[in-house]
Amino acid sequence: MIIIMLGAPGTGKGTVGKLLSKALGIVHISSGEIFRSYVKKQNELGKEIETYIQKGALVPDELAIQLLERRLKEPDVEKGVILDGYPRTTKQARELDKLLQEQGKKVDIAVNLSLSDKDIIERITKRRTCPNPECREIYNTEFKPPKIKGICDKCGTKLIIREDDNEETIKNRLKTYHSISENLIEFYKNKDILYTVKVNIHSENTSQDIAKEVEEYLNVK
């Protein structure tokens, strides 16, 4: 099972992807976490990636494809994978199809989470992240606060505000996303594997509900 999580930054792709990962028993891979793992190494490649992240720009196709190809060769993806944040362009989508075809696989469904820019900015600026690489739990000071302010419920690590979780960077990221998202969504729509879910952060439609909806859709598909 190969699942693609689509949607602008802050739509909840990561949370829904992790819930589906647990429910379906397949690995969840976030392109953002892959990129940040290289940034932490502070080598030449990491510094190059960091310049794009800090500006809210996309990591170039060639580099993103190269890093994902390495990741898809690891043994834990044999049963399937949920890709969160990749592909982000139609070029990346076509290259992904080629990589999967070489392995006798294909994308089964592209889940598109739709949320207004206003709600996205509100959600991200209130986001708090656990920096523990074994946890990476995400909170929101209004909609999903930790039990103890500033402390991760799961591992006790002090929560952080990511450097790119500021309004200026978010607006740049959204501008970039919208400039390329229509073509990517159309790409998967034409393949008849697009499933769109409208997200509303002010309703009771939680990430658990969305994950359950997608799981049920897969069961009857």
Residues 50-103: tens digit of each pLDDT: 888 777 777 888 888 888 888 888 889 888 999 998 898 898 899 999 989 988
Active site residue 123: no
Active site residue 136: no
CA-only gyration radius of the chain, Å = 17
pLDDT at 204 over 60: no
Active site residue 91: no
Pick the catalytic residue: 55, 105, 144, 162? Answer: 162
**What local confidence, expressed as pLDDT, does residue 202 receive?**
65
Over residues 43-55, the mean pLDDT reads: 80
Active site residue 173: yes
Over residues 2-22, the mean pLDDT reads: 91
- What percent of the chain shows pLDDT beyond 90? 44
Pick the catalytic residue: 18, 36, 123, 127? Answer: 127
Active site residue 191: no
Pick the catalytic residue: 18, 36, 88, 123? Answer: 88
- What percent of the chain shows pLDDT beyond 70? 97
Which of the four pLDDT bands, split at 50, 70 and 90, describes residue 24?
A: very high
**More confident of the two residues 59 and 117:** 117
Mean confidence (pLDDT) of the chain: 88
What residue spans define the domains of the chain? Answer: 2-115+168-215
* CATH architecture of structural domain 2-115+168-215: 3-Layer(aba) Sandwich (3.40)
pLDDT at 5 over 90: yes
